[in-house]
Amino acid sequence: MSFITDNIVSIWFAPLVIYILIPLITLALYLFWRFIYFMFNPLESRGKKKVPEEVAGELDDIS
């Protein structure tokens, strides 16, 4: 009887791990990485390059 029970458990456990647990772990790691990334790179500073003050004055003169 334990042979049948063990096979049923192994048949249902593999898809559970492959299709549910691995994507959930991956999603959790991704969201954790995004959280850490945005903690150190706020939305306001993304995409803006810091220009030294000397150059910033020259850029205003050009325009």
Q: What is the pLDDT along the chain (63 residues), one digit of tens a residue?
A: 566 677 777 787 888 888 888 999 999 999 999 998 888 876 666 666 666 666 656 555 554
Asked if residues 59 and 51 have their Cβ atoms less than 8 Å apart, the reply is yes
Helix ranges (DSSP H) in the chain? 2-16, 22-40, 53-62
Question: What are the extents of the domains in the chain?
Answer: 2-62
Q: How far is CA 62 from CA 51, 52, 55, 56, 58, in A?
A: 15, 16, 11, 10, 6
Can you give the pLDDT at residue 13? 81
Which positions ≥6 away from 59 have C-beta within 8 Å? 51
